[in-house]
Structure 1
Amino acid sequence: MAVYIRLDDAVRARLRGDGGGSASSGSEHEASACLSGLVQAFLETEGAVAGEEGAAPARNGGGGEGCDSDDGDGPERAAAAAEAVRELLDPPAEEDPFRIRLAAAVAAAMEAEAALRRYGAAFRRAVARRLRAAGYDAGVCKSRWEASGGVTAGTYEYVDVVVAAPAAPVARRKSGSSRYIVDADFRAGLEVARATAEYAAVVAAVPASVVVAREEAVGRAVRLAADAARRSLRSHGLHVPPWRKTRYMLAKWLGPYKRSTATSPSAMPVAGAAGMVDVKCRAVGFFPTPASASAARIK
């Protein structure tokens, strides 16, 4: 029998870690604001997860989105989900003017570093470096989570931008800062095999080139997309793979992460002989041990 937990406002406030500041170079975000976001999202989508594991679905506590039922993936339901995803990830300019300015800066940085696009880690660092040069508090974040409850372990990397209260949307100013997710691979991360036409419409609602959105909007959009993906897969008689379950998807952008602002040009690819490119990267935010560092110097 599934057990559902209801949190009062005081506990939610403590979990969210209200009042926290922006992240610093190489900092860890494995408690308070970051982990609590994933915990809260998990609790709010317990019904969806229970449905994936074969238990009876429950009513969603996060405002209605992500309700994980097997009522089908009809055109009307899919159209509503697609519209909601579009509004979350690409809201009107008047709702968040800062996001529009940031999106323009991201587009310019991506165009300037287009040659590095196929080198994922180097590309993200280059984009973050240009955003920092433009005055934004940008960093490269690497999330990492362990296997649990039928969800496999994994890692994911993306860029974020932290903005102080004066430039943040009115609804977020009380918390002291707002965090924006910048991910050029967001849409690719939602694709599934043999997608129904309805689910394809949901994926098509995601900006094709890059997603620039507040982290809470990303979380809500992911819950909607993960629920639609589950219905799409099950309509073909397919099981939901661990990497398409709601908790796995949320962990990518809302799970514990380490943030690095070390985006100097020295980390960029350098052209070598015969037109070859030598890319030297290390896991962002996960620093080598003294032994491995010494070994690197010996080489």
Structure 2
Amino acid sequence: MAVYIRLDDAVRARLRGDAAGCTSSGSDHDASACLSELVQAFLETGAGAAEEGGPGPAPKEYDSDEEDGPGRAAAAAASVRALLDPLAEEDVFRIRLAAAVAAAMEAEAALRAHGAAFRRAVVRRLRGAGYDAGVCRSRWEASGGITAGTYEYVDVVAPPSASADARQRARYIVDADFRAWLEVARATPEYAAVVAEVPASAVVAREESVGRAVRVTSDAARRSLRAHGLHVPPWRKTRYMLAKWLGPYKRSTATSPPPPAAGAIPMPGGAGLDVKCRAVGFFAPPATAPAARIK
């Protein structure tokens, strides 16, 4: 029996490669990510359809409008804990990596308020410890009710095991701000219990575990917001949250130079920080004084 799938104009454009979000950026992570994103979106249309009000059955695990209860919240919290902080024997490499991340973040604590510089400093220390770490910048376009955006985080690619294909090396997401992005206004006690299971210092988890945890927490956040009669904003929808850590991205292993000496004033756009600025009308850069004319 033939099965026909209706694709809207946005999806057709992305399949043709016309959409800006799926153009090649010179990275090995863009084209494959776009295709996998389309396949994933089709297999899991319940999440997107339920959020956008479109057709499609909701998955049994997520995107339910049923009210929270102690049992439901406890199950969601246990799922998040198992995904983002599994037992040591389940992933020995992650335990070693998490310890290295904690040490790197503690050493660079002075840069914590300077997001980009902090991430690059952490990457520098992880690479010095022998890890294949990099700074990843994801970017996605507005579509289907979600707004465009960019996000930056750290990743670490595990070395291939003796029996594994080198092309299938495990990738770990490292993000000190993960928990902060899950907070919502007027959270219900049930949702607060779910967020409490997210590591407060930093998330260090496989990318597939991050994706599953995002779906669980996004579903719980939606129920929390609707319990107070609030609408789910575009930046809280599941697809938007997934795009942060699992969307097409560029990866860089370049790191910032050592931090300035104590008392020095950090200057934006310093060498090695990969800072891009755009004039928005607040001030104009001072004009360069012309060279003195020799008479």
TM range (shorter): 0.7 to 0.9
Residues 169-199 of structure 1: CA distance to partner in whole angstroms, max 9, x if unpaired? x8x7585311000000000011111111111
Please name the residue that 1:150 is paired with.
Answer: 145
Cα gap change, 1:261 to 1:149, in 2 (>3 Å): same
Cα gap change, 1:276 to 1:284, in 2 (>3 Å): closer
Distance 1:247 1:282 in 2: 35
Residue of 257, 260, 276 corresponding to 1:270: 260
Identity of aligned residues (%): 69
User: Would you say the 8 A contact 2:29–2:248 is kept in 1?
Assistant: yes
Please name the residue that 2:120 is paired with.
Answer: 125
Please name the residue that 1:30 is paired with.
Answer: 30
Distance 1:244 1:58 in 2: 20
Q: Which amino acid aligns with 1:120?
A: G
Distance 2:270 2:264 in 1: 19
Residue of 185, 191, 195 corresponding to 1:193: 185
Distance 2:184 2:73 in 1: 15
Residue of 184, 199, 205 corresponding to 2:197: 205
Name which one, 1 or 2, has greater alpha-carbon Rg.
Answer: 2
Give the deviation of 1:55 after TM superposition.
3.7
Residue of 126, 129, 136 corresponding to 1:141: 136
Cα gap change, 1:157 to 1:145, in 2 (>3 Å): same
Superposed, 1:70-149 pairs within 5 Å as 70-149=65-144
Structure 2's unaligned 5+ residue stretches are 6-25, 278-284, 290-295
Distance 1:213 1:113 in 2: 21
Please name the residue that 1:9 is paired with.
Answer: none
Higher helix share: 1
Please name the residue that 1:237 is paired with.
Answer: 229
Q: Which amino acid aligns with 1:180?
A: Y
Distance 1:158 1:282 in 2: 20
Q: Secondary structure at the match of 1:98?
A: helix
Distance 2:272 2:225 in 1: 33
Whether 1:250 and 2:242 are equivalent positions in the alignment is yes
User: Would you say the 8 A contact 1:270–1:278 is kept in 2?
Assistant: no
User: Would you say the 8 A contact 1:178–1:214 is kept in 2?
Assistant: yes
Cα gap change, 1:254 to 1:36, in 2 (>3 Å): farther
Higher RCO by CA contacts (8 Å cutoff, separation 6 or greater): 1
Give the deviation of 1:264 after TM superposition.
4.2
Residues 34-59 of structure 1: CA distance to partner in whole angstroms, max 9, x if unpaired? 33443344234311222222246614
Distance 1:77 1:37 in 2: 30
Structure 1's unaligned 5+ residue stretches are 6-25, 289-294
Cα gap change, 1:45 to 1:192, in 2 (>3 Å): farther
Distance 1:283 1:198 in 2: 44
Give the deviation of 1:164 after TM superposition.
2.6
